[in-house]
Amino acid sequence: MIMSTKQDIFDCALALFSEKGYNGVSMRDIAQKVGIKGSSIYNHYQGKKAIMDDICQTFVNTLAFSRPPLAEIEKKMETMTAGEVIKSLIIAYGTRINEKWTQMARVIFSEHFYNDAAGKIFLEELINNNVSYYVSILAEMKRKGKIKEIDKLLVATLFNNEQVMLSMQYAHCRTSEERKKLADLMMQSADYFFNPLEAKKDASSKQ
């Protein structure tokens, strides 16, 4: 019962934060939406910041599970082009997206300028860690001869920045049509960035 109530508080706070913003919601608002006394909410969370911290940590955990291990990606490189590998990562990430993810993403994206925890996640997880992840993938692609010589950090940074911007738009979409359009753009972006990077096979090697 205790865990159920805490989960209800988490879910209701998340829904309210995503609709009205962190500063637009009080602990009383959350308690009212859950259907408990205002004082009872403090049996589960010390305050609004503690709820926000919980939301941020849950979002981080979701991101971690959304990045397939490099060994799995290396295996894909045996039969896929560079662009196909990247698109498979986008698809894998998409399988994690549900209404709760959308609400968490909306909160992180909306609050990262004002909330320290959200700002840290935005910088470390969505920017720095993602870029490092893509750099590792590009390095392996180059080692396997899948792509030509490039500035891996530059390509990883530019591609990730575009994906983050599209994800921000996706999190704020209100209709399935809007979300499909953004999902298609993410896939097109992978083709745009990675198809030109394909290593050209030497004609003599085919003989």
Share of the chain above pLDDT 70, in %: 95
The architecture (CATH level 2) of 1-45 comes to Orthogonal Bundle (1.10)
Q: Give residue 95's pLDDT.
A: 80
The domain ranges of the chain are 1-45, 53-199
Which residues are registered as beta bridge partners of 147?
198
Give the distance between the most distant pair of CA atoms in the chain: 78
pLDDT tops 70 at residue 160: yes
pLDDT tier, 54 (very low <50, low <70, confident <90, very high otherwise): very high
- pTM for this model (two decimals): 0.86
pLDDT tier, 134 (very low <50, low <70, confident <90, very high otherwise): very high
Long-range contacts formed by 41-45: CB under 8 A, 24+ apart: 41/9, 43/2, 44/2, 44/5, 44/6, 44/9, 45/6, 45/9
Q: Give residue 1's pLDDT.
A: 47
Average pLDDT, the chain: 90
Which residues are registered as beta bridge partners of 198?
147
CA distance 164 to 161: 5
Which residues are registered as beta bridge partners of 125?
none
CATH label, 53-199, candidates 1.10.20.60, 1.10.540.10, 1.10.357.10, 2.60.40.790: 1.10.357.10
pLDDT per position as a tens digit, 62-119: 887 788 899 999 999 999 999 999 999 998 888 878 889 899 999 999 999 999 999 9
In the predicted model, what is the mean pLDDT of residues 8-36?
Answer: 95
Share of the chain above pLDDT 90, in %: 77
